Amino acid sequence: MNIQTTGRAKAVYMMAAILTCTWFGGQNAQAQSPINFGPDDESAAPAQRTRADIEDKYKWDLGELYPSLEAWETAFTEVERKIKKFKALEGTIGESPEALLKALKLRDRMYAEFMMVMQYAAMSYHLDMKNSEAAGRSDRVDSLGTKASEATSWFTPAILKIPSAKVFRWMDENKDLAVYRHELDDIYRQKEHILSAREEELLAMTGDVTSAFNTIFGRLQNTDLDFPIIKDEDGNDVQLSSAQYYKLIYSPDRRVRKDAFLGLHQVYLDKRNTISAILSGQVKQHMFYAKARGFDSSLDAALNGPNIPVEVVDNLIGTIHQHLPKLHRYVTLRKKVMGIDEVHRYDLRVPMFNAPDEEVPYDDAVKTILTALEPMGEDYVSTARKAFASRWLDVFETPNKRSGAYSWGVPIAPHPYMLLNYHGTRNDRSTVAHELGHTMHSWYSSRNQPLPYAGYATFCAEVASTVNEVLLDHYLMNHAKDDMERLLIVQERMEGIRTTVFRQTMFAEFEKTIHEQAEAGQPLTGDSLCKTYGDIVRKYYGPDIVIDEAATAEGLRIPHFYRNFYVYTYATSLCAATSIGQRIIDREPGAVEGHIAFLSAGSSKYPLDVLKLAGVDMTTPRPIEDTMELFGELLEEFETLHARINGE
């Protein structure tokens, strides 16, 4: 439950500040916090080059944020001063429109300056994570953030004490205050679910107790579960772990991926009674807060924060159901292409068709991406060109650099920054396009919105990045040198839709079903959860999938179920982006302008309304159907290309 997130600017800045994209490509066991370490993190090979070996144009210039450490220290002290100043405003904001406006403006400035202080500390640390001075600065910023949160906790409750009619009258009279109309509307919208001061105090006191389920599950999964040792392709012993699993499940050696999959999931199956009790506790936690705050259901409560109607989730699941025959066809295609007589769950991740990865030099990737983005128009492309030419990216891996990739935009910073670990794979090229999409979103929103709306909601966060990928894929398809290259692109795109749309919708359906079961008074036991999960998996993958008993325990392994109705956003984002990208490719009138309007809107409207600017209405089936249509076309294309390559 997140009534607190109505402190919009705060929540949006804090949560959307760092966008890393572990879900991209379908890896989904991570994504627990705004800073996500991707599944490839553990495998980072020793870097060959030091920072001194790399030309400046491929490295960040953090001097653009602060010219010196002294300047950063001064900014840090200024944030501390603003925190104190803000705290001192407690008790004043109901006096006049001017007093309320003063507090809102000070809060915005304080958070923006804090974000930039944090950005500098974190990014300089990310360049060398063994640098203890940089680590120390990062720790100091964490404490500063806690202070800022504490100093502002009085603010939303104090706003709610002023009658809404009075505040709205003030806004009619004061145009500077009227800037905050959407934010204040959002705060008052949630008022009916806020309880009396004493009740709120009691609910806050339950936090430490109710968060225990997530903590217990994390401890069990990360430290206490004993996973077996299996043999890799060369017959060497490998200790299974969550990280190892994500490597071994891609093994072309069927015995290896089978041992990894069944070995891992058997452990969850054996512990199903304990884990089901933990997950059941988490579900009851959601039910408790929903009931306490007067919501109809857990789902209703979870979607209230971002103001997403329940129909969005129902529409996603319902529309995907109608297109499940396409996923069944995909499983049948796998069976045929891979030449196996049964498709098991461990046969779904490995590429159907293997070819050596071509080397894509970074400069070539940049050229390709800039050309692929040309349909977005000159303004978009010239900003992208500037990003590549003006050290917005830190491109290559160096010793002790943070792994993975992200884009980080702060409204008052000169521009967003992107961190990469570019090794020259085709996937790395897609990552550049993806992170650039986040950067453009931050860039347009920062430049077109006042501070309170310069960030963007989680529901919209992965759309801009994925639109860039859609445009890149389309360009690569049209410029592939041969059928083989085309086949590989088609394969990657199909896998992207399978893992991000079908699989995440499947998770969302499981999550929704078990909450409904609990709300109807049914106990969630190890056996009932495995049965529910197994039935859903069978429905999604169809008659050609074989579900081993251990595979039914997968639902007990996914940490996202401790995040309260979050997985569906992966699927909706990809569908929205596919729909937008397709219209841009088709040169539909207004498509580019709509997308730019979306990028420029930040959080100035509710997430669904912001997306509507790009012509996408996530309460309707259309964006999901567009994506399903594309999936169908990709299936056909794959079959044709594969037959041609094999001389059939």
Catalytic residues: 435
417 phi and psi angles, rounded to 5 deg: -120, 150
- Name which of residues 462 to 521 contact Zn ion (CB under 5 A): 465
| Residues in binding contact with Zn ion, number by CB under 5 A | 3
H/E run at residue 20: strand 18-20
| Helix runs in 339-377, H state only | 362-372
Residue type for position 215: T
Q: Which is nearer to Zn ion, 35 or 99 (CB)?
A: 35
Task: Work out how close the CB of 291 gets to Zn ion at its nearest, in angstroms, rounded to a whole number.
Answer: 35
Task: Work out how close the CB of 386 gets to Zn ion at its nearest, in angstroms, rounded to a whole number.
Answer: 21
Select from 30-38, 459-467, 521-529, 622-630 the region that touches Zn ion (CB under 5 A). 459-467
- SS3 for 123-155 is HHHHHCCCCHHHHHHHHHHHHHHHHHHHHHCCH
Q: Which is nearer to Zn ion, 122 or 432 (CB)?
A: 432
Select from 17-25, 36-44, 314-322, 370-378 the region that touches Zn ion (CB under 5 A). 17-25
Q: Which is nearer to Zn ion, 443 or 541 (CB)?
A: 443
Residue type for position 290: A
Task: Work out how close the CB of 87 gets to Zn ion at its nearest, in angstroms, rounded to a whole number.
Answer: 35
Task: Work out how close the CB of 319 gets to Zn ion at its nearest, in angstroms, rounded to a whole number.
Answer: 24
Select from 11-19, 113-121, 149-157, 265-273 the region that touches Zn ion (CB under 5 A). 11-19
H/E run at residue 344: strand 343-344
Residue type for position 559: P
Give strand pairing partners of 419.
Answer: 394, 406
Residue 59: other Cβ atoms inside 10 A: 16
CA–CA gap between residue 220 and residue 218 (Å, rounded): 5
What's the angle, vertex CA 38, arms to CA 504 and CA 280, rounded to 5?
Answer: 45
- Name which of residues 60 to 79 contact Zn ion (CB under 5 A): none
Q: Helix (H) and strand (E) counts for the chain?
A: 28, 8
Select from 12-20, 78-86, 90-98, 107-115 the region that touches Zn ion (CB under 5 A). 12-20
Task: Work out how close the CB of 634 gets to Zn ion at its nearest, in angstroms, rounded to a whole number.
Answer: 22
Select from 135-143, 256-264, 460-468, 506-514 the region that touches Zn ion (CB under 5 A). 460-468
Q: Please answer whether residues 388 and 457 qualify as being in contact, where contact means their C-beta atoms are separated by less than 8 angstroms.
A: no
Q: 31 in the Ramachandran plot: left (φ > 0), alpha (ψ -120 to 50) or beta?
A: left
What's the token pair of residue 500?
A: 């991000």
Residue (of 34, 37, 36) closest to 14 by Cα position: 34
3-state SS assignment for residue 360 = coil
Q: Which is nearer to Zn ion, 289 or 406 (CB)?
A: 406
Q: Which is nearer to Zn ion, 433 or 630 (CB)?
A: 433
Task: Work out how close the CB of 405 gets to Zn ion at its nearest, in angstroms, rounded to a whole number.
Answer: 8
Torsion sign over Cα 37, 349, 618, 557: negative
Select from 13-21, 113-121, 130-138, 634-642 the region that touches Zn ion (CB under 5 A). 13-21
Binding mask 308-337 for Zn ion (x = CB under 5 A): ------------------------------
Task: Work out how close the CB of 403 gets to Zn ion at its nearest, in angstroms, rounded to a whole number.
Answer: 15
Q: Please answer whether residues 456 and 445 qualify as being in contact, where contact means their C-beta atoms are separated by less than 8 angstroms.
A: yes
Task: Work out how close the CB of 27 gets to Zn ion at its nearest, in angstroms, rounded to a whole number.
Answer: 12
In terms of C-beta density within 10 A (0-12 exposed, 13-18 middle, 19 or more buried), how is residue 209 classed? exposed
239 phi and psi angles, rounded to 5 deg: -80, 120
Q: Which is nearer to Zn ion, 610 or 635 (CB)?
A: 610
Q: Which is nearer to Zn ion, 406 or 533 (CB)?
A: 406
In order, the DSSP letters of 290-322 are HHHTT-SSHHHHHHHTTT--THHHHHHHHHHHH
Task: Work out how close the CB of 436 gets to Zn ion at its nearest, in angstroms, rounded to a whole number.
Answer: 11
Select from 19-27, 318-326, 342-350, 520-528 the region that touches Zn ion (CB under 5 A). 19-27
Q: Which is nearer to Zn ion, 153 or 403 (CB)?
A: 403
230 phi and psi angles, rounded to 5 deg: -125, 170
Q: Is 275 in the site for Zn ion (CB under 5 A)?
A: no
Residue 58 half-sphere exposure toward CB, CA atoms < 13 A? 18
What's the token pair of residue 548?
A: 């081993």
Q: Which is nearer to Zn ion, 6 or 579 (CB)?
A: 579
CA–CA gap between residue 153 and residue 173 (Å, rounded): 28
Q: Which residue is closest to Zn ion by CB?
A: 21
Q: Which residues contact 227 (CB under 8 A, 6 or more apart)?
A: 239, 240, 241, 263, 264, 267
Q: Which is nearer to Zn ion, 21 or 100 (CB)?
A: 21
Task: Work out how close the CB of 21 gets to Zn ion at its nearest, in angstroms, rounded to a whole number.
Answer: 3
Select from 15-23, 206-214, 256-264, 348-356 the region that touches Zn ion (CB under 5 A). 15-23
CA–CA gap between residue 151 and residue 87 (Å, rounded): 5
Q: Please answer whether residues 304 and 564 qualify as being in contact, where contact means their C-beta atoms are separated by less than 8 angstroms.
A: no
Q: Which is nearer to Zn ion, 8 or 441 (CB)?
A: 441
Task: Work out how close the CB of 310 gets to Zn ion at its nearest, in angstroms, rounded to a whole number.
Answer: 26
CA–CA gap between residue 26 and residue 308 (Å, rounded): 24
Q: For residue 595, what are the CA distances in angstroms to 44, 426, 573, 582, 591?
A: 36, 26, 14, 12, 6
Q: How would you classify the pairing of strands 343-344 and 545-546?
A: parallel
- Name which of residues 109 to 138 contact Zn ion (CB under 5 A): none
The one among 3, 15, 18, 21 contacting Zn ion by CB under 5 A? 21
Q: Give contact residues for Zn ion (rule: CB under 5 A).
A: 19, 21, 465
